[in-house]
Amino acid sequence: MQLYLGIALLLVVTVSITFAYWQERKSSDIINSFKKLVLAFVVVIRDGVKQSVHKTDIVKGDIIHVTMGDRMPADIVILEAQAFKVDNSSITGESEPVSRNGKFTHENPLETKNLAFYFTSVMQGTAIGVVIYTGDNTVMGRVANLASNIEQIKTPLNKELDHVILVSISIAFLMGGIFFALSLLYGFYWLDSVTFLIGLIVAYVPEGLQMTVTICLTLTAQRMAKKNCLVKNLDAVETLGSTSIICTDKTGTLTQNRMTVAHVWMDGVISGVDTTENQTGDSSLDKTSPTWKRLKLHEPGVIKYRETHNKRVEIPFNSTNKYQVFIHEQDDSPDHILQMKGAPERILNLCSMILIKGEEVPLTDEWKEKFESAYRDLGEMGERVLGFCDLILPEAEFPQDYPFDSENQNFPLNKLCFLGLLALIDPPRAAVPDAVEKCRGAGIKIIMVTGDHPITAKAIARRVGIISPNGMTVNEMQEKFGDNWRRKSKHNKFSSIVLHGEEIKQMSSEDLTKVVQSYPEIVFARTSPQQKLLIVEACQAMGAIVAVTGDGVNDSPALSKADIGIAMGISGSEVSKQAADMILMDDNFSSIVTGVEEGRVIFDNLKKVIVYTLTSKGPETLPFLAFILLNLPLSLGTAMILLIDFSTDLMPAISLVHEVAEADIMTRRPRNAATDQLVNPALLQKAYFQIGIFEGMGGMFAFLVVLGESGFWPMSLIGIRPEWDNPSVDVVADCYGQEWNYRQRKNLEQTGQSAYFLAIVFIQWINVLTC
């Protein structure tokens, strides 16, 4: 019997380990597939000569030349730049490429124009710069080191399992010690007492629990993988369900990571444009207006027009002019058309006319006031505003072969016709507002932590529901009421706050924790990687289970520190994916809601598993209790206890993993890790003293029926054990006077033990349904 049990146990353990290994291997393979090739060589100017060297050979002081499409090989100070723009989203979180030149403009290294950083992509233009930092000394390297040096903490599930094991072992040794002492007190031989002690410990320790939990987590991870949530760490499945605060990045997580026209000001009216991903939203834009037909030719998305209309000359955007100019041929006219876009105030100053409903009218002071009002309103929405104008260049002055010169600018750049304003924004993903609302319903607090400008961050936060649309932030209260804002706030409902990274610098860790505790709606803007880490620590200091989402290297320290880090599979950097515990394969914040629900289901189902598993511990103890206190024959052997634990209990327990979610799963508050535990007094009381007692009584009843049908009535069994178990006593008479020798008694005892065993198994089948 022991051999068969050992083989069965080995098979179950092997299957469990195989499942876990397969899941981890699958995660590892997908992670490796995300690695992207980075150009290994860079152009370096040494001794006045351009040469190509491997990026690992770059040293401090080298002068390098980078151009569009390159990835910065080091941190550099820019010496010269031509229409140079870089994508800093992996460091600052800003989705819009930023221009860089040789001018020092800000004390903050991330803000100044004359610095470009390692690993950022060159989106436009060229630049020459001197290397100041390489490798781990770069901003990116320091961020990565910050993430890798963070101390790993136990997941909530690990803590719970440790608590379960501690409680189980404590009960096992307590019961074993009590019965060991009683057996010695009742005169049992010490070796028999040790046997009882071992038997009770085996009975009370849930040997198959760890195996069940592993299989449970693996199956759930497989389900989540089908829903675009790749789990790298199995324990993270339950952690997400316990989350009480989500610190989310903005760019690429809440938003689509693409600049889109959100509002248009033309004909003196601000119109909204459909920015939804599937173009199913509302739009108030009058697309029949002659002004729009002329203005839309300036849109970046009108590629067909640009391809079919020959471009004669271009003046790239630069920080001095703050505009960009194109001159195109027209297919319906021999005249050329000059198109200009750029900073609105700069564009307006170059115009003398304005297009209103297709008619050019003088740009009067009244129209300029309307422009200022519209510009201000669009700016307060957190949108990036561009001004547009054009000018028809008549064929008489500018024939088809006219030699347009962008350097000497032999064409007019003033007295243009102002067309209107386009306000661009990185719009939120379609499913995010609903996901945010579901998180709120589940009692989860969402905090936006981004490197973007506070105005932009606040606008997006309001659009997705992180900040209430009608609520006033503390900042707005201060701006509106000045020093009286505290008194006024008593009469105005507000619960949100937008904090700049510079304000966080002035706070102690205690102050930051108070802010997180005090405001249910929070946006942190212009934050550095170190500040994101401090925000996570502040949330954890108040006892919260914190999830962090992000896609850039700047997010990796916070991803590592969080109880669960969630990286973006499409737009996420390699560093962020390695730091995270879970990867959203579709980059969609709404997938987190799926993960939260699955995590809560896991916790519920594990409680069901534990109740089911612990229920059989009482019935497994009862035979030893009767054996010692009442001197009854042993009604259940140690081998059968192991068979119950590793065979009949394991598969039904695993079946509980597939239980569907309870109806209120996403309307509960997040569980309190300090009080709402897997094993608590109520669970133990139900397992041991409710179901367990009935199950034990059922097993003992079956045992007594078998022996009673054979002649040994229940009352006659009390005190019979010394004779029953003594091999030298060859004759023991039953209630009918029949004589039983030792071998016959043991055969009958084994039959009774089988009945006891089957009774427990049958009742456990009913128990699994009640669980």
Looking at 50-59, 425-434, 538-547, 641-650, which range is the least confident one? 641-650
Task: Answer whether residue 513 is part of any domain.
Answer: yes
Query: Does one domain contain both 324 and 369?
Result: yes
Query: Does one domain contain both 662 and 760?
Result: yes
Query: Does one domain contain both 122 and 61?
Result: yes
* Predicted local confidence at residue 307, as pLDDT: 60
Residue 235 domain boundaries: 231-257+429-596
478 vs 723, residue with greater confidence = 723
Q: Rounded CA gap, 746 and 139, in Å?
A: 77
Query: Does one domain contain both 180 and 285?
Result: no
Question: Crossing angle, helix 590-615 and helix 742-770, to 10 degrees?
Answer: 150
Q: Rounded CA gap, 381 and 379, in Å?
A: 5
**Average pLDDT of the segment spanning 510-537:** 88
Output the domain CATH number for residue 168: 1.20.1110.10
pLDDT of 361 over the 70 cut: yes
pLDDT of 469 over the 80 cut: no
pLDDT of 303 over the 60 cut: no
Looking at residue 152, its amino acid is: Q
Query: Does one domain contain both 694 and 663?
Result: yes
Number of domains the chain is built from: 4
**Average pLDDT of the segment spanning 295-305:** 61
Q: Rounded CA gap, 128 and 125, in Å?
A: 11
Of 378, 397, 425, the domain-final residue: 425
pLDDT of 282 over the 70 cut: no
Query: Does one domain contain both 237 and 297?
Result: no
* Predicted local confidence at residue 370, as pLDDT: 94
> Looking up tokens 């914040």, which residue turns up?
589
CB-based contact 734:740 (threshold 8 Å) = yes
768 vs 28, residue with greater confidence = 768
Q: Which two structure tokens, joined as six digits, stand for 676?
A: 């709402």
**Maximum C-alpha span of the chain:** 134
Arithmetic mean of pLDDT over the chain: 82
Task: Answer whether residue 30 is part of any domain.
Answer: no
> Looking up tokens 């890798």, which residue turns up?
148
pLDDT of 227 over the 60 cut: yes
Decide if 555 is catalytic.
no
pLDDT of 62 over the 70 cut: yes
Of 387, 402, 425, the domain-final residue: 425
Task: Answer whether residue 629 is part of any domain.
Answer: yes
Q: How far is CA 723 from CA 184, 293, 597, 644, in A?
A: 18, 107, 59, 29
Give the pLDDT band (50/70/90) at residue 568. confident
Q: How far is CA 724 from CA 195, 700, 713, 740, in A?
A: 18, 18, 14, 9
**Average pLDDT of the segment spanning 590-617:** 86
Task: Answer whether residue 14 is part of any domain.
Answer: no
298 vs 604, residue with greater confidence = 604
Query: Does one domain contain both 66 and 182?
Result: no
Name the DSSP letter for residue 554: G
Looking at 25-34, 76-85, 295-304, 425-434, which range is the least confident one? 25-34
Q: How many CB atoms lie within 10 A of CB 97?
A: 18
* Predicted local confidence at residue 651, as pLDDT: 81
Task: Answer whether residue 698 is part of any domain.
Answer: yes
Q: Rounded CA gap, 752 and 698, in Å?
A: 13
User: Which neighbouring-strand residues pair with 126?
Assistant: 67, 82
* Predicted local confidence at residue 31, as pLDDT: 41
Cβ neighbors of 533 (< 8 A, separation 6 or more) are 146, 150, 557, 558, 561
Query: Does one domain contain both 545 and 687?
Result: no
Q: Rounded CA gap, 546 and 450, in Å?
A: 16
Give the pLDDT band (50/70/90) at residue 689. confident
Q: Rounded CA gap, 606 and 212, in Å?
A: 9
190 vs 686, residue with greater confidence = 686
Task: Answer whether residue 711 is part of any domain.
Answer: yes
User: Among 75, 87, 249, 581, which one carries the catalytic annotation?
Assistant: 249
Task: Answer whether residue 89 is part of any domain.
Answer: yes
Coil, helix or strand at residue 113: coil
127 vs 624, residue with greater confidence = 127
High-pLDDT (> 90) share of the chain, %? 23
Output the domain CATH number for residue 125: 2.70.150.10
pLDDT digits (tens, 9 = 90+) for 487-520: 544 444 557 888 888 888 888 888 899 888 888 8
**Average pLDDT of the segment spanning 714-730:** 90
Cβ neighbors of 73 (< 8 A, separation 6 or more) are 42, 55, 58, 64, 66, 118, 134
> Looking up tokens 């003398």, which residue turns up?
352
Output the domain CATH number for residue 302: 3.40.1110.10
pLDDT of 29 over the 50 cut: no
Task: Answer whether residue 28 is part of any domain.
Answer: no
CB-based contact 58:42 (threshold 8 Å) = yes
**Average pLDDT of the segment spanning 237-262:** 85
User: Which neighbouring-strand residues pair with 356?
Assistant: 359
Give the pLDDT band (50/70/90) at residue 301. very low
Query: Does one domain contain both 342 and 456?
Result: no
Give the pLDDT band (50/70/90) at residue 26. very low
> Looking up tokens 């052997």, which residue turns up?
637
Query: Does one domain contain both 742 and 711?
Result: yes
* Predicted local confidence at residue 332, as pLDDT: 76
Give the pLDDT band (50/70/90) at residue 707. very high
* Predicted local confidence at residue 3, as pLDDT: 44
CB-based contact 519:495 (threshold 8 Å) = yes
Query: Does one domain contain both 684 and 547?
Result: no
* Predicted local confidence at residue 27, as pLDDT: 44
CB-based contact 575:147 (threshold 8 Å) = yes
pLDDT of 333 over the 50 cut: yes
CB-based contact 632:717 (threshold 8 Å) = yes
